Amino acid sequence: MSAIAIDTAGWAFAGAAAWTLLEYSLHRGLGHRWTGNAFGREHTRHHATTHYFAPGWKKALAAAPVVLATAAAAALALGPRPGLAFAAGLALAYVAYEVVHRRAHTHGPRGPYGRWLRRHHFHHHFHAPATNHGVTSPVWDLVFGTYARPGTIRVPEKHAMPWLVDGSGEVRPEHADAYVVNRRRPGQPPRRPLGPPLPHAPGDLAPLGEEGGPPLAPVAAARSEEAR
């Protein structure tokens, strides 16, 4: 391989590395800190409905001026060949990120990196949105102190990825060591505290309003009587 080819490849690699910082910065800054922008609105929707992804044409319209501006600035600073190689590396890394991110939601992992990436990313989605902003790499999270090592990933039932669960909604055996789906019983309303519990008869240990426990109406009447 010629020296020119090696130099060009080196600048392309530098562009790809620069994308990882841009990926982190966009995600943390525009996606979570200052969300009053097109990227922030789309990202907020993605968190609220994890099966949603912004249309490709929107992403292309947003990415094109960034890549062109990067190519122009890099060509002026480094020269035409290195500058274009740098911009090409950044653009290819961005496309790879889009593919990897989408597949994390739609396809199961293949190999150690795939398993790591999904747990790293879904910890961000379902446990701590202020951490793990780098999707493809943890480097900048480690640098800026936003890295969190994931434990068991607890996925809300409505957000369960299609590769994670079987036809009955249960976690597939090959993922059971790392994921749990939080499932709500049919018809179960959100539980709200009703205040300090009243004394129960011996053996009456079921929660208020649940099968085997004291019904809610008599309990409410008893509390009203006590307040008089």
Cα–Cα distance between 190 and 87 in angstroms, integer? 51
Neighbours of 29 (CB within 10 A): 15
Cα–Cα distance between 119 and 64 in angstroms, integer? 31
Q: Burial, 208: exposed, middle or buried (Cβ in 10 Å; 0-12, 13-18, 19+)?
A: middle
pLDDT of 116:
97
Per-residue pLDDT of the chain (228 residues; tens, 9 = 90+): 688 888 899 999 999 999 999 999 999 999 999 988 999 999 999 999 999 999 999 999 999 999 999 999 999 999 999 999 999 999 999 999 999 999 999 999 999 999 999 999 999 999 999 999 999 999 999 999 999 999 999 999 999 999 999 988 999 999 999 999 998 766 555 444 434 443 433 333 334 344 444 444 444 444 444 444
- Torsion, Cα 39 108 115 50, to 10 degrees, reads 30
pLDDT of 70:
93
pTM over 0.85: no
